[in-house]
Every structure is written in structure tokens, then in C-alpha cells.
């Protein structure tokens, strides 16, 4: 498995290798893999930025350093409709370990 270069376009400027995603599934889901002790907020923000730049809606952040793999998976959604309990700017994060698919 190798990282996939994702082009970034801003107006008339195109950068062919704007960022590198760890894995892209079916050209729909960006998967970022981290082997860290604890996922930091910057890891989630990084994936959300990748989703926005690639115009994708769904991402998975996987921490392989978690004791149970289910505890190391976070689902990040770009542009999720705001609900009364949603996070600001129309995005919400789900954790597999909390029983939310």
C-alpha cells in the first residue's frame, strides 16, 4: 500500500500533489492511519481538511496503537447537516467505540 497523491485546485492554480492520503476507498472515503498513543484534535482537523480539499464527504481516522481496533476508529463527516447537538460549522464526529456506526 502506498499513499495516494491528491491534486488541489484553487481557482486557476492546480497542484498535482497537494496532499497525500494514506488510502482512498472507492474514490469516496479517505482513510488516514496513525500509530500514535492518543489521537489529538489536529489529527481530526487534518482529515477534515483533506476531505474538504478532495471534495469528499466521509473519512476514517484509524489509530493502530489502540488496545482494541474498534477504540481506534473515528468517523469524520464533511458537511454533515447541523443538528441541535452537532459541532459548529456543520460537521460531526462519530466514534465506533461509542456504538455509533
Residue (of 26, 19, 88) closest to 58 by Cα position:
26
Domain boundaries, the chain: 4-98
Predicted local distance difference test score (pLDDT) of residue 28? 93
Q: Is the model's pTM score more than 0.85? A: no
Predicted local distance difference test score (pLDDT) of residue 84? 38
As beta bridge partners, residue 4 has: 21
- Which three cell numbers, joined as nine digits, stand for 92? 460531526
Query: Sign (positive/negative) of CA torsion 64, 87, 19, 28?
Result: positive
pLDDT of the chain, 101 residues: tens digit per residue: 567 887 877 789 888 877 888 999 998 999 999 999 999 999 999 999 999 888 899 999 999 999 999 999 999 999 875 443 444 444 455 555 544 44
Amino acid at each position: 500500500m502506498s499513499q495516494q497523491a491528491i491534486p488541489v485546485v484553487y481557482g486557476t492554480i492546480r497542484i498535482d500533489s497537494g496532499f497525500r492520503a494514506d488510502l482512498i476507498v472507492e474514490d469516496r472515503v479517505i482513510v488516514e492511519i496513525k500509530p500514535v498513543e492518543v489521537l489529538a484534535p489536529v489529527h481530526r482537523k487534518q482529515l477534515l481538511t483533506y476531505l474538504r480539499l478532495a471534495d469528499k464527504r466521509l473519512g476514517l481516522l484509524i489509530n493502530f496503537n489502540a488496545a482494541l481496533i474498534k477504540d481506534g476508529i473515528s468517523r469524520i463527516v464533511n458537511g454533515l447537516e447541523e443538528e441541535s447537538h452537532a459541532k459548529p460549522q456543520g460537521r460531526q464526529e462519530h466514534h465506533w467505540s461509542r456504538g455509533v456506526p
